[in-house]
Amino acid sequence: MGLGCWAIGGPFWRGSDAVGWGDVDDNESIAAIHRALDLGITFFDTSNVYGTGHSERVLGQALGARRAGVVIATKFGNVFDETTRHITGADATPAGIRAACEASLRRLNTDYIDLYQFHLGGYDLEGAVEVRETLERLVLAGKIRWYGWSTDSLERARLFAAGPHCTAVQHQMNVLEDNPAMVVLCEELNLVSINRGPLAMGLLTGKYTPETTLADNDVRGANSPSWMQYFQGGRPSAVWLRKIDGIRDILTGGGRTLGQGALAWLWARSGKTVPIPGFRTVKQVEEDAGAMAFGPLKPEALREIDQILGR
């Protein structure tokens, strides 16, 4: 498993939509990353846009001399203003990609990026060929080692996979929302399946009730973007909470917490999966890392979950 570093970037906005995870404590974020390293987690996924650069800076500071022992994945494509913490546009031109790469290298305090991911999930297919070629040139220049696309589009993932150094696709998947077609594609093309939203934006941690209210500067709060499905009006969705209740006993079997069971489902789903739960505290990292001691769910548990969820 890895860890997703979206939340530690702090608040930022796209127009009036909050797209960060609320206020953060950088010292706690750094302590959490150090704890993750001690527990054997060596894959960290971030983006230049998370906190408009802040997540990359915190990750770079936390890794320090331990950088060589980890895999850093970051993303590009969005343009932003660090002063106002607002997304201002997008740029996937060759010059824009090279500039974004150099800026990420500076913020991460490193001279190479292990996995560089395209963050514009619905980008034009024809234009994506030029993006892929630009990434290949960055590999040759030693700026990045591998690349991938953060997209839920099979067609786009397949196009990128034609590049010699494409090694991953990041896509939405969790026990509530299976993605069988993308799993098949990753297995066919030998791509890592990096699982975005493995804990359903926190719902699968079990700590939210129908009465929970999220902060206005949280992507799940009242100012959430239109694509937010797990939380509505700043509160957890009753529909999704009922689905969780239906499979809770299976996920928590054998002594797992609910979140650990959700991660175990992903590992059982395919040998290609790498869930990247988000975090803001040491405690969250410790609980998520604890899932590794249990390993994947049994095949019969997967079949029972599918039956309960009607798929």
User: Which residues are part of the catalytic machinery?
Assistant: 50
Counted residue by residue, the chain has a size of 311
The encoded tokens of residue 225 equal 């973007």
Which residues, 6+ apart, have CB-to-CB distance to 83 below 8 Å? none
DSSP states of 240-304: HHHHHHHHHHHHTGGG--HHHHHHHHHHHH-TTEEE--B-SSHHHHHHHHHGGGT-SPPHHHHHH
Strand order in the sheet with 13-14: 17-18, 13-14, 86-90, 78-81
> What residue type is 163 in one-letter code?
G
Dihedral through CA 269, CA 274, CA 278, CA 282, nearest 10? 110
H/E element, 113: strand 113-118
For residues 115 and 73, the answer to whether their CB atoms sit within 8 Å is: yes
101: Cα within 13 Å, side-chain hemisphere? 29
d(CA 253, CA 261): 8
Which has the closest alpha carbon to 74: 93, 98, 55, 91? 55
d(CA 121, CA 170): 10
